[in-house]
Amino acid sequence: AAGVIQSPRHLIKEKRETATLKCYPIPRHDTVYWYQQGPGQDPQFLISFYEKMQSDKGSIPDRFSAQQFSDYHSELNMSSLELGDSALYFCASRWQETQYFGPGTRLLVL
Amino acid sequence: GENVEQHPSTLSVQEGDSAVIKCTYSDSASNYFPWYKQELGKGPQLIIDIRSNVGEKKDQRIAVTLNKTAKHFSLHITETQPEDSAVYFCAASTTNFGNEKLTFGTGTRLTIIP
């Protein structure tokens, strides 16, 4: 069965650089969620999109932005990266109540 | 907002024994409670979920119970196997449009001792 696809899987950036993370939801899933997971922590909700419109917003820094495109894939743009942005970033797509998570992008900021 | 507490943070059980993980939530509007298993370096994988109109759900060796009045729910794994070793997260959400984000518990690292 098709799963959520995220790219890249690993990313290394310098402080103050920008990063773009991509998410391809499971076909026919119309809602995408982004979560950030620090080392040894639980995933924290960042932002979500339904039918290409932002549907909810969590603890997402102003330096981050995201959007969902006409083909339903989503991108998380992160600017002025800080050391504390190093984390796993997960995308999830939703069918009915259930959210299905991708494999994540591991971001390391040096 | 919702707050989910999860206990214990670590749990070691002998292979073949049962494991129980407990969670409490704060928001009475929450009506959907999934459990995720996360292996090292991988994304959370849904293992079972329960909705607020159901008190118990079972899927082979895994069961979840929900007490809406007390606002707590539990995961039960029977006949544990080495491959059950992972971090388990409970979560809570509503099914109200625009407010379906998952609030996770802090996780339980389960170790199955062969």
Is A56 in the B-facing interface, judged by CB distances under 8 Å? Answer: yes
What is the mean predicted confidence (pLDDT) over A16-35?
95
3-state DSSP of chain B = CCCEEEECCEEEEECCCCEEEEEEECCCCCCEEEEEEECCCCCCEEEEEEECCCCEEEECCEEEEEECCCCEEEEEECCCCHHHCEEEEEEEECCCCCCCCCEECCCEEEEEEC
* Res B96 pLDDT > 80: no
Are B95 and A97 in contact (CB < 8 Å)?
yes
Are B104 and A42 in contact (CB < 8 Å)?
yes
Cα of B45 to nearest chain A Cα, Å: 7
Is A58 in the B-facing interface, judged by CB distances under 8 Å? Answer: yes
Are B101 and A102 in contact (CB < 8 Å)?
no
Kindly report the average pLDDT of chain B as a whole number. Answer: 95
What is the mean predicted confidence (pLDDT) over B23-28?
96
What is residue A70's predicted lDDT score, i.e. its pLDDT? 93
